[in-house]
Structure 1
Amino acid sequence: MKRSRLPLTALRSFEAAGRLMSFTRAAEELCISQAAISRQVRELEVLLDRPLFDRGHRSVKLTQEGAKLLDVVTASFDAMSDGLADVERGKGPDTVNINAEPSFAACFLTPHLSDFQRSHPDIDVRVESESGLAEFRHNEDVVAIRHGLTKTSWPRSESRHLMDVQMTPCLSPRLLEGRALPQRPIDLLDFPLLYEDSRDMWRSWFERTGVSSDVYPRGPIYTDEGMTLQAALRGQGVALLEERFAREYLASGLLIRPFQQTLPFGAFFIVVRGFETLAPAAHDFLEWLSESVRSRDAH
């Protein structure tokens, strides 16, 4: 097909639908209607005279020809995106775009990011907080921080281990209200517990310390560790917090760590589209981030 006849709009819709395996999500990403995605993909299929998707009632699946075309189109859009990014670099201050898990953004980046900015005043930092799959679909360097319980890699990207996660119980002195500090892990069952996502993490910690119980204290269930940390600081209950995230609060006396037992809970990873193609500013940030984690391991 001649370059002048390339159906770029239809190819963009096809690429998004194939990469996300969803016409609905493709429409959300491209800010157009699902009907427009469906129409443009259908026009591309008519032009090529072959189906690119097998359409089910609530799902779509690439055909063999569709999968082959997707590989080519995705690589082509990525190459164009990289080319545009190269042209844009050099305009104004360098910017590092960080897309971090909510817990990491709230409990590590927010308290410590000013250290990076003091040492790199010529680099702007933009932080987004989300836990979904990082797609790296913009003309910019994105450094994603993702947690994996067992997962160590993500599609269409490169990953590097940042830090293991060790969860430990912490509580505010305000929670005791004249009561004695718990002496045994089972004593924590007499206090309200703060839960993250579900009660499973606390159950695993208790089992690791030899405590088996069918009944756990009632307490709010938060969606991320940043909220459990804030609730713990206000004396609302005992939280399981990552050791590094809690360290400065423990050192200042705002939190107490009644027991040393920890629960291994996966790891955080640096995830990027490609380490070799990152801009110098992103490399500076990664160097600072890794050193910042190592320095807190040493204390």
Structure 2
Amino acid sequence: MSRSTLPLRALAAFEAAARLESFRAAAQELALTPSAVSHQVRILEARLGLRLFNRVGRGVVLSPDGAELFGRIGGSFDALAEAVETAARRGRRARRPEVVRLRTPPSLAGSWLLPRLPAFLAGHPEIDIRVHADLRLATEGGTRFEGDGAELAIWYGDHAPAAAAPLLAETIQPLCAPSLAARCDLRGPRDLLALPLIVTRDNRVSWEGWFRRQGVALDEAFAGTLQLDPSHVAIEAAVKGLGVVLESDVLAEDALAGGRLVAPFPGLGVSWTAYWLDIAPGAAARPSVATVRAWLLDSAARPAGDARPVTDMAATASPPSPSRSGPARP
């Protein structure tokens, strides 16, 4: 039998049915109906003049002739699948990835974005995300996009540009190492006055403001503050037991999840929508930009630690929400 007359469709149906020992399972794999698989097997049997399957009850088993044929062609289908996948990988490598530029406050880039990037990049090798961690991008009164080619930007503040969508809410609250909380027997907000308090310059909530909310005055019991910037440096200092930091649960997500930080007074935080995702004019028409934007919104909506597979989410992107520009976070 010449190559030009090989019944490839019938052979594929036979190979799947023999390997899976079921016409129904073969039909599911090949996206056919069981009757279509059965029809292709009958065509092959007619071409060969052999019975390839015997019916046993409601199922089928290979006949001796069918078993011999399967043994000879099964490896060939495996080799074909491997050859096609090898070619596909070479094709993916040959395609130049599409560049998507994202501007973000530095602490959010290091604490929230970078831990999530590997899964996205593994699922989207065709996209090259370039992250520009720059505090200046979101300063109050700054321009939305400064001609650097960025398609997406994450803003921090009470407000954001009109094209931006809410991305992340945060809760700012006292955080400290578990050993410090246990050693000092923290029973109420006033107990914090006896401990070093770590301050970050551009935090939306100051220690003075937080104590005022709790009805605590900064009197002679106040031990003083230690200023550390940016936020991820202050958080790491708290992890090492240098003091108590008043910080965001978004930026401290990894340390909280890993038990390296605890919130001694979890009900006394200040919550608000803090981060906004902006998109440059006209950039939404690029599928790669839409995919990255949808991934960021989807990641923000998931509980911390949710590691569902990354897929093309451009079609699920939420529409932008109107808002106004505002201050930055380090």
Shorter chain as denominator, the TM-score bin is 0.5 to 0.7
3-state SS in 1 of match to 2:264: coil
* 2:241 counterpart (235, 239, 245): 235
Q: 2 CA distance for matches of 1:134 and 1:128?
A: 16
Q: Is the 8 A contact 1:196 1:225 kept in 2?
A: yes
3-state SS in 1 of match to 2:174: strand
The offset of 1:92, in angstroms, is 2.1
- Structure of greater relative contact order (alpha carbons < 8 Å, 6+ residues apart): 2
Q: Is the 8 A contact 2:98 2:128 kept in 1?
A: yes
- Show the counterpart of 1:103: 107
* 2:211 counterpart (206, 209, 214): 206
Q: 2 CA distance for matches of 1:107 and 1:145?
A: 14
Q: Deviations over 1:164-218 (max 9, x none)?
A: 2210211113435x72431111111111111010686212222222322256432
3-state SS in 2 of match to 1:230: helix
TM-score (norm 2): 0.55
Q: Is the 8 A contact 1:94 1:122 kept in 2?
A: yes
- Show the counterpart of 1:284: 291
Listed as ranges, the gaps of 5+ residues in structure 2 are: 1-93, 137-141, 307-330
- Show the counterpart of 1:175: 180
One-letter amino acid of the structure 1 residue matched with residue 255 of structure 2: Y
Q: CA RMSD in A?
A: 2.8
The offset of 1:252, in angstroms, is 2.0
TM-score (norm 1): 0.60
* 1:152 counterpart (143, 149, 160): 160
Q: Deviations over 1:56-88 (max 9, x none)?
A: xxxxxxxxxxxxxxxxxxxxxxxxxxxxxxxxx
Q: Is the 8 A contact 2:284 2:290 kept in 1?
A: no
Structure 1 segments of 4 or more deviating over 6 A? Answer: none
- Show the counterpart of 1:245: 251
Q: Is the 8 A contact 1:96 1:282 kept in 2?
A: yes
CA 1:99 to 1:244, structure 2 compared with 1: closer, same or farther past 3 Å? same
The offset of 1:161, in angstroms, is 1.4
- Per mean C-alpha deviation after superposition, the further-off stretch among 268-277 and 102-111 is 268-277
Query: How many percent identity over aligned positions?
Result: 27
Q: 2 CA distance for matches of 1:114 and 1:135?
A: 27
* 2:228 counterpart (218, 222, 229): 222
Which runs of structure 2 are paired with 1:39-188 in the superposition (5 Å)? 92-132=96-136, 133=142, 135-138=144-147, 140-148=149-157, 150-153=158-161, 158-175=163-180, 179-188=183-192
